[in-house]
Amino acid sequence: MTQVIGDSAPITIILQRWSATLNITTASSTLYGQSISIYKGSDLVGTTAFDNSGSASFTVHLSGTYKAVCTYDGYPFSTGDIAVTQETAYSATITYFAATLAITTT
């Protein structure tokens, strides 16, 4: 796009769409279908969800540090920090763990 402002020389602006993909997986079928919140720092930038095989993806348009968080039964499970520095695909995993403890007294 070229823009002429007043009597000055033309200014050419090149618009490029920068993008990187966050591929998020889980091995826990408990999280299949659950919503995932994507944060850049403390700012929510969007949501996605795990499909029925435990995969999800989200496209970001700025470099920076991201985190994917899935909340289940009131507890957050996250990927930890994902440092996005270039246009490529990044992989991260959310792990869910549940246990039942039985206490026996004698």
Q: What are the tens digits of pLDDT across the range 59-93? A: 999 999 999 999 999 999 999 999 999 999 999 99
Distance CA 20, CA 104 (A): 51
Q: Using 50, 70 and 90 to split pLDDT, how confident is the model at 6?
A: low
CA distance 72 to 44: 18
Enumerate the β-bridge partners of residue 67.
39
3-state DSSP assignment of residue 67? strand
pLDDT digits (tens, 9 = 90+) for 13-45: 766 689 999 999 999 999 999 999 999 999 999
- CA-CA distance, 3 to 12, in Å (whole number)? 6
Using an 8 Å Cβ cutoff, are 92 and 86 in contact? Answer: no
The predicted pLDDT at position 16 comes to 65
